[in-house]
């Protein structure tokens, strides 16, 4: 199996990545997944937001620090939240705060042509950065308006150019979100740093999903096409709750086994 290097760690290719927002989930993932991402998707996943624009530095600091306590083997990735890296000065100031409090191995920022100067500045300041291109969720107030990119030749070439520029400026990897299969393949074949896909085909060097989607923890029935449920936690947990409720009503819980003398 082919190998791939991110920072000083060697992984079997393709690399795997899942999100974690709490120590308990991080503990489950550590060492079993190559990269653990504290993503700003926690806005919708944990806080019921309609998008990621309301995620704050304090949210990322708190969840990032909590997750960091349980990660010993996997690489740690942290999203920089919306409006915290609009210019290179603010970007580095906020990056230092997150690095100090959360100790991630890499920070991830959503990149377009205007944000390349920010990417360069962070790299120049010795910050390890993942460049997130394609669909960039922080740009959307309404996720229903998100459309797959790379369908036209112009979009395809613009994404390839952005990926190449990200590599040239020193990004450690490129995350590709919601782009066509042939565009993902083209980019992966034309840059030497890893590509990590979400809704971007099997041709990427790695894949990422939100853990809550993976186990169907969310009650949101309208999930993106790229989401695969590996376990129906929602259904099983609902049955467990019903059983607990029944035991309480019938005074079967707590029995003497769960009572102090």
Closest by CA to 17, choosing from 252, 181, 251, 196, is: 196
E strand spans, 129-253: 129-134, 173-177, 195-198, 206-209
Closest by CA to 209, choosing from 221, 196, 219, is: 196
Tokens representing 17 are 């990545």
Name residues whose C-beta falls within 8 Å of residue 164's C-beta, 6 or more positions apart in sequence.
190, 191
Task: Name the catalytic one among 110, 165, 167, 177.
Answer: 177
Contact yes or no for 119/132 (Cβ under 8 A): no
Contact yes or no for 46/39 (Cβ under 8 A): no
Closest by CA to 25, choosing from 60, 58, 59, 71, is: 71
Q: Is 177 a catalytic residue?
A: yes
End-to-end CA distance of the chain: 58
Closest by CA to 184, choosing from 167, 164, 160, 210, is: 160
Closest by CA to 166, choosing from 145, 192, 184, is: 192
Which residues does residue 208 pair with via DSSP β-bridges, in sequence order?
17
DSSP structure class, residue 76: E
Strands 106-110 and 75-79: parallel
Closest by CA to 200, choosing from 135, 137, 256, 141, is: 135
- The residues annotated with a catalytic role in the active site are 177
């Amino acid at each position: 199996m082919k190998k791939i290097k991110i920072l000083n760690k060697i992984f079997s290719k393709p690399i795997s990545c899942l999100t974690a927002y709490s120590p308990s989930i991080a503990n489950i993932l550590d060492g079993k997944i190559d990269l653990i991402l504290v993503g700003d998707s926690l806005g919708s996943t944990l806080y019921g937001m309609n998008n990621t624009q309301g995620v704050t530095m304090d949210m990322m600091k708190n969840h990032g620090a909590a997750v960091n306590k349980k990660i010993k083997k996997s690489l740690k990735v942290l999203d920089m939240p919306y409006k915290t890296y609009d210019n290179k000065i603010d970007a580095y100031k906020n990056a230092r705060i997150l690095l100090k409090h959360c100790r991630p191995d890499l920070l991830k920022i959503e990149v377009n042509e205007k944000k390349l100067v920010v990417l360069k500045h962070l790299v120049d300041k010795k910050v390890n950065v993942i460049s997130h291109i394609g669909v960039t969720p922080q740009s959307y107030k309404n996720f229903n308006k998100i459309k797959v990119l790379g369908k036209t030749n112009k979009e395809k070439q613009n994404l390839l150019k952005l990926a190449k520029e990200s590599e040239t400026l020193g990004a450690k990897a490129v995350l590709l979100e919601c782009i066509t299969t042939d565009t993902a393949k083209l980019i992966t074949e034309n840059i030497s740093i890893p590509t990590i896909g979400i809704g971007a085909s099997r041709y990427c060097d790695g894949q990422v999903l939100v853990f809550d989607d993976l186990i169907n923890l969310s009650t949101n029935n309208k999930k993106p096409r790229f989401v695969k449920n590996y376990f129906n936690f929602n259904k099983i947990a609902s049955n467990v709750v019903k059983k607990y409720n029944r035991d309480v009503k019938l005074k079967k819980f707590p029995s003497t086994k769960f009572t102090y003398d």
